[in-house]
Amino acid sequence: MFYVEKKGIINKYSKESEGRFLKQDISLKTPYITLGQLLKIADLIQTGGQAKWFLAENDVYVNGALESRRGKKIYPDDVIKVNDRMIKLKAGK
């Protein structure tokens, strides 16, 4: 997490339980982030190279639509659901 904050991609990162989902809020400093970068920030994968494999093996929903492209741009206010996690991006300051 420190590495990502040092690069200036995110502002804030928090986890909390919301119903049956583990809710994560990520505050961005940039206008968008790719799905592969998000999976790494959320600790779902260890390296960027694992993103393609992860997306092939797991159902990842972006705003309710199934997504399999690691380069998909994710913007603030997008909601991503992966297994038992719900990730919401917010605009940073």
Q: Could you tell me if 89 and 7 are in contact, meaning their C-beta atoms sit under 8 angstroms apart?
A: no
Beta pairing partners, 73: 34
Residue-wise DSSP of 17-53: EETTEEEEEEEESSS-EEHHHHHHHTTS-SSGGGHHH
Model confidence pLDDT, tens digit, residues 31-84: 999 999 999 988 889 988 899 999 999 999 999 999 999 999 999 989 999 988
The H or E element that residue 54 is part of is: helix 51-57
The DSSP secondary-structure symbol of 9 reads S
Each domain of the chain, given as residue ranges in start order, spans 2-91
Residue 42: CB atoms within 10 Å: 17
Residue 56: CB atoms within 10 Å: 9
Tell me the whole-structure pTM to 2 decimals: 0.74
Furthest-apart CA pair in the chain: how many Å? 35
pLDDT score for 4: 41
Looking at CATH, the fold of the domain delimited by 2-91 is given as: 3.10.290
